[in-house]
Chains A and B, each alone.
Chain A
Amino acid sequence: MNSSLALSSATFIYALASVFYIGSFTFKKQILAKVGFIVLIIGFLDNTLGIILRWIESYQMGYGHAPFANMYESLVFFSWTVAILYIFVELKYKERIIGVFATPLIFLAIAYASLSPDISSKISPLIPALKSNWLIAHVITCFLGYAGFAVAFGFSLMYFVKPKNSNNKSIFAKLPSWELIDELTYQMVVFGFLFLTIGIITGAVWANSAWGTYWSWDPKETWSLITWLVYAIFMHLRMMKGWHGRHLAWVSIIGFLAVMFTYFGVNYVLSGLHSYA
Chain B
Amino acid sequence: MKKNQTIPDKIWHFFCSVKLTVYTLVLLATTSIFGTVILQNGMEQEYRRLYGEAFYNLIKVFNLNDMYNAWWFLSLIIILCINIVVCSIERLSITWKIIFPKQIKFNPQRFRKLKNLEIFTVNEDVKSLSGRYKTFLSKTAGKVIKEDTDSGIVLYAERGRWTRIGVYVIHSSILLLFIGALIGGLFGFKANLQLDEGETSDTAFIFKKKMSVNIGFSIKCNDFFVKFYDTGAPEEFRSTLTIIENGKESFTKDIRVNQPLRYKGINIFQSSYGTAQPDSIILDIIRLSDKEVTTKTIKVGQEIQLPEDQGLFKLEGFMPHFDFRGTNLGEAFIGKITQKDGNSFQIALPIKFPTFDKMRKGAFAFVVKEFEQKYYTGLQITKDPGIWYVYSGFILMIIGCWITFFMSHRSYFIEIKKDKDNRSIISISGTTNRNSQGMKLKIQKIVVKLKGK
A214 CB contacts on chain B under 8 angstroms: 387, 390
A183 at the B interface (CB under 8 A): yes
Query: Do A210 and B257 form a contact, CB below 8 Å, given A225-B32, A226-B29?
Result: yes
A163 at the B interface (CB under 8 A): no
Contacting pair A125 B233 (CB below 8 A): yes
Contacting pair A211 B25 (CB below 8 A): no
Contacting pair B35 A183 (CB below 8 A): no
A222 at the B interface (CB under 8 A): yes
A215 CB contacts on chain B under 8 angstroms: 181
A183 vs B267: C-alpha distance when bound (angstroms):
46
Within 8 A of A (CB), among B359-412: 380-382, 384, 387, 390-391, 394, 397-398, 401-402, 405-406
B40 CB contacts on chain A under 8 angstroms: 217
Contacting pair B32 A211 (CB below 8 A): no
- The interface stretch among B234-242, B295-303, B312-320 is B234-242
Query: Do A211 and B380 form a contact, CB below 8 Å, given A128-B234, A128-B257, A193-B405?
Result: yes
Contacting pair B382 A212 (CB below 8 A): yes
A219 CB contacts on chain B under 8 angstroms: 36
Contacting pair A229 B25 (CB below 8 A): yes
B21 CB contacts on chain A under 8 angstroms: 236, 240
B236 CB contacts on chain A under 8 angstroms: 128
- The interface stretch among A37-45, A77-85, A103-111, A194-202 is A194-202
A237 CB contacts on chain B under 8 angstroms: 22
Closest to A184 in B: B437
Q: Binary interface profile of B, 267-293, with partner A (CB < 8 Å = 1, else 0)?
A: 101010000000000000000000000
Query: Do A132 and B18 form a contact, CB below 8 Å, given A194-B402, A213-B190, A219-B36?
Result: no
Query: Do A211 and B231 form a contact, CB below 8 Å, given A183-B437, A225-B32, A236-B22?
Result: no
Q: Binary interface profile of A, 224-256, with partner B (CB < 8 Å = 1, else 0)?
A: 011001101100110011000000000000000
CB of B379 to closest CB in A, whole Å:
10
A128 CB contacts on chain B under 8 angstroms: 234-237, 256-258
A14 CB contacts on chain B under 8 angstroms: none
A125 vs B401: C-alpha distance when bound (angstroms):
36
CB of A130 to closest CB in B, whole Å:
8
Q: Across the A-B interface, how many residue pairs have beta carbons closer than 8 Å? A: 115
A141 vs B356: C-alpha distance when bound (angstroms):
56
CB of A241 to closest CB in B, whole Å:
6
Contacting pair A208 B258 (CB below 8 A): no
A171 at the B interface (CB under 8 A): no
B25 CB contacts on chain A under 8 angstroms: 229, 232-233, 236
Contacting pair A205 B394 (CB below 8 A): yes
The residue from B22, B37, B234, B438 contacting A270, defined by CB atoms under 8 A apart: B37
A237 vs B23: C-alpha distance when bound (angstroms):
11
A218 vs B95: C-alpha distance when bound (angstroms):
39
A184 vs B435: C-alpha distance when bound (angstroms):
9
Closest to A206 in B: B258
A71 at the B interface (CB under 8 A): no
- A183, A197, A210, A212, most chain B CB atoms within 10 A: A212
CB of A128 to closest CB in B, whole Å:
4
25 contacts between A and B (CB under 8 A): A128-B235, A131-B257, A183-B437, A184-B437, A187-B435, A187-B438, A190-B405, A194-B398, A198-B398, A210-B269, A212-B269, A212-B382, A212-B384, A213-B190, A214-B387, A214-B390, A222-B33, A223-B36, A229-B29, A229-B32, A232-B25, A233-B26, A236-B21, A240-B21, A266-B36
If A197-B397, A210-B258 are given as contacts, then 20 extra A-B residue pairs at C-beta distance below 8 Å, sorted by A number, are: A93-B437, A124-B233, A125-B229, A125-B233, A187-B438, A190-B405, A194-B398, A194-B405, A201-B398, A212-B267, A212-B380, A213-B382, A215-B181, A233-B22, A233-B25, A236-B18, A236-B21, A236-B22, A240-B18, A240-B21
Binding site for A on B (CB under 8 A): 18-19, 21-22, 25-26, 28-29, 32-33, 35-37, 40, 68, 181, 190, 229, 231, 233-237, 256-258, 260, 267, 269, 271, 380-382, 384, 387, 390-391, 394, 397-398, 401-402, 405-406, 435-438, 441
